[in-house]
Amino acid sequence: MNTARTIALVRWLTAAAALCAIVAVYHLWLHVNPTTVAFSLLLLILALAARWGLRYAVVTSIAAAALFNFFFLPPIGTFTIADTQNWVALFAFLGTSIIASRLSSRIQEEAEQAKAGKREVEILFQVSRELLQTGKVAELLNAIPSCIETATGASAVVLYISEGKKIYFSAGVGEQDLERIDLEAATLLPRIATSENTGWSMVPIRVGVKPRGLLLLKAGSLSDATMEALGSLASIAIDRAEALENVARSEASRESERLRTALLDSITHELRTPLTAIKASASALISTERISTDDRREMLTVIDEESDRLDRLIAQAVQMVQLDSCETHMDLAPHSVADLIENARQACAAVLTGHPCEVHLSHDIPPVLADPLWIERVLCNLFENAAKYSDAGKPITVSAARKDAIVAVSVADRGVGIEPFEQNLIFDKFYRGQSQRDRVSGTGMGLAICRAIVEAHHGTISVVSRPGQGAVFTFTLPIAEGKR
């Protein structure tokens, strides 16, 4: 016997037992007037209507009327009624109990409908909140079936997208479950339909009036309206994710166009100065017949220095493009911070002439995970800036200290410093300090390169500065614990 039948049987037996109990109590022990008995029976009938529905209440009413007549209306012990008044009483009892049962069961049905409605609204709210969280189409399409399955308690959910004929399943569902359904044809259905032989509810989803795909559910308790709303929600979420991706794509292409232009402007501008100097010195060397050894040396020095500057500039542009396109591979391995700093100092020895350079390292610095070539570039950029933006003779201090799982390396100078509003901007590509851009040559690429390199090491870079008193640039590197 299945569960529903067992439940029904138990209910019928309970109703009969309760009815018999009331009749027995009043007939055998408590001798009260028939009105009290009628009210007690009415109470039982109302309780049955409210709990189990009209069916139980109506049948029990009829049985109660018969028993009431037999045991409590004179002549007692027969189904005949002597007094006409008692006929009225009997029919009043029967009528009242049936009408009251109907009202009571209708209230119960309405309460259940309201409860189901509330649950469905909650489901729609939960699904909309979850689907609107992701802005990536691929991620969203994969998430839709399981999200709807979890929220609705459906046993299986499938999303079919006509474009590319792609199918997304919730857990435990496979293509074999859809073998008997013509998915493409079902996308053209005018509204929700249920496949008789497979049990799938099929909700066509559209973009405007154009079919987009199909949402298939096995969720017996959901109303058609809710399933259609779920289909619309899925479609809106896909539209939204597609729109977001389009915006991101066009923003990325605009940004890359902007960077290309800025890079070109910056390079053209910065190339001109060294090229003019080189050209002037070279022309003078060629055209002047008698030229002193000192002058010749000076002109050759200009050519040498300016070619170095050009070389640096081109190297910076190349690094920036590489870092931007994520082509760069960081060879992260454990390295001593002292060695990294020393190598950078040696590589930038020319830049640091004229600035006493002190190094302060705390004694407990463990090895860090770093690519030494790239970290040398970070340190050299910071050394060059420290030298460039402070007067000759001002010291440059390099220090390093451990902080939990990272090591912070700082380069401090006593130069012009940076205005507070510019302290974040200077790490942006091509940004040059307002007070420096016309006084000191530069490209605005150095710190952007530093930031990209440090971030590729899972670190951060920042500056603390007081205008007129100098700046301290600090970047962090992760400790290489257990990686030796």
444 binds ligand ADP (CB under 6 A): yes
CB of 298 to ligand ADP, least distance (A): 26
CB of 359 to ligand ADP, least distance (A): 17
Site stretch for ligand ADP (CB under 6 A), options 197-205, 274-282, 343-351, 441-449? 441-449
Q: In angstroms, how far is the first alpha carbon of the chain from the final one?
A: 69
Ranges within 359-388 binding ligand ADP (CB under 6 A): 381, 385-386
418 binds ligand ADP (CB under 6 A): yes
**In terms of CB distance, is 127 or 378 closer to ligand ADP?**
378
451 binds ligand ADP (CB under 6 A): no
Q: Cβ(121)–Cβ(225) under 8 Å?
A: no
**In terms of CB distance, is 29 or 421 closer to ligand ADP?**
421
State which of residues 201, 436, 474, 476 lies at the interface with ligand ADP (CB under 6 A): 436
**In terms of CB distance, is 192 or 267 closer to ligand ADP?**
267
In which region does residue 13 sit, left (phi positive, over 0), alpha (psi from -120 to 50) or beta (all else)? alpha
**In terms of CB distance, is 100 or 426 closer to ligand ADP?**
426
DSSP per-residue string spanning 56-119: HHHHHHHHHHHHHHHHHSSSTTSS---SHHHHHHHHHHHHHHHHHHHHHHHHHHHHHHHHHHHH
**In terms of CB distance, is 418 or 453 closer to ligand ADP?**
418
Q: Cβ(478)–Cβ(457) under 8 Å?
A: yes
CB of 261 to ligand ADP, least distance (A): 18
432 binds ligand ADP (CB under 6 A): yes
**Strand order across the beta sheet in which 461-466 lies:** 357-361, 396-403, 406-413, 470-478, 461-466
Query: CB neighbours of 304 closer than 8 A, spacing ≥ 6?
Result: none
CB of 422 to ligand ADP, least distance (A): 7
**In terms of CB distance, is 371 or 413 closer to ligand ADP?**
413
State which of residues 98, 416, 477, 479 lies at the interface with ligand ADP (CB under 6 A): 416
Ranges within 456-475 binding ligand ADP (CB under 6 A): 471
Nearest CA among 139, 144, 141, 175 for reference residue 157: 144
**In terms of CB distance, is 274 or 446 closer to ligand ADP?**
446
List of long-range contacts for 349-355, beta carbons under 8 Å, 24+ apart: 351/380, 351/383, 351/384, 351/387, 352/383, 352/387, 352/396, 354/387, 354/392, 354/393, 355/386, 355/387, 355/390, 355/392, 355/393, 355/394, 355/395, 355/396, 355/413
Burial class of residue 114 (count of CB atoms within 10 Å of its CB; 0-12, 13-18, 19+): exposed
CB of 470 to ligand ADP, least distance (A): 7
CA distances in angstroms from 189 to 115, 186, 212, listed in the order given: 30, 5, 12
Q: Cβ(456)–Cβ(374) under 8 Å?
A: yes
Ranges within 3-22 binding ligand ADP (CB under 6 A): none
389 binds ligand ADP (CB under 6 A): yes
443 binds ligand ADP (CB under 6 A): yes
**In terms of CB distance, is 37 or 449 closer to ligand ADP?**
449
Q: Cβ(450)–Cβ(379) under 8 Å?
A: no
Cβ-based neighbour number of residue 32 at 10 Å? 12
State which of residues 157, 433, 459, 477 lies at the interface with ligand ADP (CB under 6 A): 433
**In terms of CB distance, is 97 or 436 closer to ligand ADP?**
436
152 binds ligand ADP (CB under 6 A): no
The 3-state DSSP class for residue 355 equals: coil
State which of residues 15, 337, 396, 447 lies at the interface with ligand ADP (CB under 6 A): 447
State which of residues 34, 213, 367, 415 lies at the interface with ligand ADP (CB under 6 A): 415
Structure tokens at 147: 């999200």
Q: How many residues touch ligand ADP (CB under 6 A)?
A: 22
The residues binding ligand ADP (CB under 6 A) are 381, 385-386, 389, 413, 415-418, 426, 431-433, 436, 442-448, 471
